[in-house]
Structure 1
């Protein structure tokens, strides 16, 4: 159910538990997420020469770390959001986007360099 407030922005009545469950399901079903974690776990199993059943503790730790980081980040954003102007929010989004793109470019160039040197 949506209703407009005095600023013209729409506010939605959302059950926090349902929002969390939907976020978990959407994240878990994302193909990129699945490929990422499959790569992490298979690399860990290959390096440590472990069986999939022995990686349960590692998997639980990864899940707990991810959940705690993303929960902390969303709490911080929830508390800081009302104090940020739309312009400041846009600037922060831009900085974060450029940072992520720069990191991806850096890692991509490093991978190409390793590939050309025959390290991969």
Structure 2
């Protein structure tokens, strides 16, 4: 149920950004001030999520840690929603896809709407299938490997967030 909540959150954010792309938010993001604020906010959130995930990985590895994290459908939804909506790449991705389709295929508004429904649905289907496959393999994955992967993912998110912030500040 937690996985489905997270998948629904990501799909919802994708549809929000798809709709914003259809109404032309990509043009607004081309303005340096807005782009810079959005980039910095997204970078800070990525670093914070990275720190949280890294902490979970380290706490899990530490034998003295007594940290127990309980994921609920609401916390899964909220975490996935915030992480996805704060990523500047998400809006850039969807704006680019819809701009390219509109130009390349000369799609009209109603054709873009059909394309939008399909692309948003593909997010839900792909993530659902991925989570189903992972749930089948779950029992074969040792806990120590999950903890190490949490540390790696946390470190990557922190690094990426810092790099994005530096690039945003440098270019803006």
TM-score scaled by structure 1?
0.54
- Which is helix-richer, 1 or 2? 2
1:55-77 CA distances to partner (integer Å, 9 max, x unpaired)?
Answer: 11101101111111112212322
Distance 1:82 1:35 in 2: 37
Cα drift, residue 32 of structure 1: 0.6
Query: 1:69-102: CA deviations, max 9, x gaps?
Result: 11221232233122123459969xx9xxxxxxxx
Q: Following the alignment from structure 1 to structure 2, what is the Cα–Cα distance between the partners of residues 21 and 84?
A: 26
Per mean C-alpha deviation after superposition, the further-off stretch among 76-85 and 56-65 is: 76-85
Alpha-carbon displacement from aligned partner over 1:38-57 (angstroms, at most 9, x marks no partner) = 11111011011123443111
Distance 1:89 1:69 in 2: 25
Instruction: Give the Cα separation in 2 of the matches to 1:60 and 1:87.
Output: 37
Highest Rg: 1 or 2? Answer: 1
Q: How many residues align?
A: 88
- Quick check: which one's strand share is greater? 1
CA distance in 2: counterparts of 1:43 and 1:55, whole angstroms: 11
1:115 paired residue number: none
Unpaired runs of at least 5, structure 1: 95-120
Matched, 1:43 2:108: no
Aligned to 2:116: 59
Q: State the distance in 1 between where 2:133 and 2:67 align.
A: 22
Does residue 14 in structure 1 map to residue 61 in structure 2?
A: no
1:80 aligns to 2:80 (yes or no): no
- Structure with the larger RCO, 1 or 2 (CA within 8 Å, 6+ apart): 2
Partner residue in 1 for 2:83: 26
TM-score, normalised with respect to structure 2:
0.40
**For residues 137 and 72 of structure 2, what CA distance do their matches in structure 1 show?**
21
SS of residue in 2 equivalent to 1:12: coil
